[in-house]
Chains A and B, each alone.
Chain A
Amino acid sequence: MAAPRERQGETGHTELSSSDRLRTYVVVPAYNEAACIGEVLSGLVAVYPNVVVVDDGSSDDTYAVAGGIVPHALRHAVNRGQGAALQTGIEYALKCGAAYIVTFDADGQHRIEDIAALVGPIAAGECETTLGSRFLGETIHMPASRRFMLRLAVLFTRLVSRVPLTDAHNGLRAFSRRAATQIDLSMDRMAHASEIIDIIRRSELPFREVPVQIRYTEYSLAKGQSVRDGIRIALHYIVSRVVR
């Protein structure tokens, strides 16, 4: 359905055509990220013009900073959680006519180059959803405690969702328009990562994991989840699955 695309080898270093880049909407949920988000967003818009920032009711200048850089800045009047912000961004991108929707974290842990590797297989019609995996790819400065917790999260996801993934809670994902319309996140907070996997499985649309690189900085680690958060997320997820 699109213009020419070159592939370089098996590692998935795809170059997207400019029309594909224009039809790719990058959704960035952000909560109190004013300190760092400017740099991340400037890098993004330079390659992907359609960046959608959803400010999740931040108390800092996140919205103002984002509004000055990206064409689509949305704001939640009150904080509703990352899952809710993602859903808002996805619905908005669909309304704008996005062909591909990418979710991207605001804290600078993802590489912009990885987006092409995620959208590439979808644009080529090989699958409908791609999920970034840090365990397939290279990871920079991941503390052992973080690695242990993420491994637990993967095990948890394999158990409850019965999808054999190597990474469960990676913020970098890409959806085709068709897959994105299936997504209806009801878990507003962090449990949405498991919920997305459930939705993908239920939709029976083909998906693939793509190796991505995660950069752990002091900033992104501080914004990340602690072990206690992890337990809370798991409990929240279980309750939400039981109670409709």
Chain B
Amino acid sequence: MSLFELSMFQRIAIAIVIVLFISSIVAMIKGWAGRREGLIWITVWLVAGVAILWPAVTSRIAAALGIGRGADLVFYSAVVVMMLGFWMVYIRMRRLRREITLLVRHLAILEAGKDPAGADRDATKAESPEKTPKANPWQKRSKAPPQH
């Protein structure tokens, strides 16, 4: 198979896949991506490269699985992989949210001890309302409180 037998689509696609393949390897070697993550991506690009260069291979696998065309097999697999990807991102997002909450909580309790309006002031002798704390510096004060 010479390069000139390839269609225009194949040439463009294989060029992109090669670039991504090489950058995945580089990222893994340099330690930008995790080992497992890197291996997953390298596998993905290898599979994509095979499917682009030898489309007949996908047709043969499709036929073995009882799916009409190779292109359909690629489409179905892409859907499954994407759903898995979304799920993994969702799980990661949940964990991130949890970590933010723990961080915010830690900060709130820490600040309460130091703030003049916080825990240092004993409840039994708390009679100094002139020390009002500042409004939340992290929030833009744009919205007016709800009217009633």
Contact = CB atoms under 8 A, between A and B. Distances in A.
A75 B111 contact: yes
B126 A76 contact: no
Contacts of B140: 59
Contacts of A243: 91, 94
A88 B105 CA distance: 6
A74 B109 contact: yes
Given A34-B145, A59-B140, A222-B146, A73 B112 contact: yes
Contacts of A141: none
A132 interface: no
Interface residues of A, number: 42
A87 interface: yes
Interface size class of B (residues with CB under 8 A): 35 or more
Contacts of B71: none
Contact of B145 (A60, A68, A75, A84): A60
Contacts of A61: 135, 145
Given A58-B136, A59-B142, A243-B94, A188 B118 contact: no
A149 B123 CA distance: 39
Interface of B: 91, 94, 97-98, 100-101, 104-105, 107-109, 111-112, 115, 117-119, 121-124, 126, 129, 131-136, 138-148
21 contacts: A22-B123, A32-B146, A50-B123, A57-B104, A58-B136, A59-B143, A63-B135, A64-B134, A68-B131, A68-B132, A71-B123, A71-B126, A74-B109, A74-B118, A77-B108, A80-B104, A84-B105, A91-B109, A92-B108, A186-B98, A218-B148
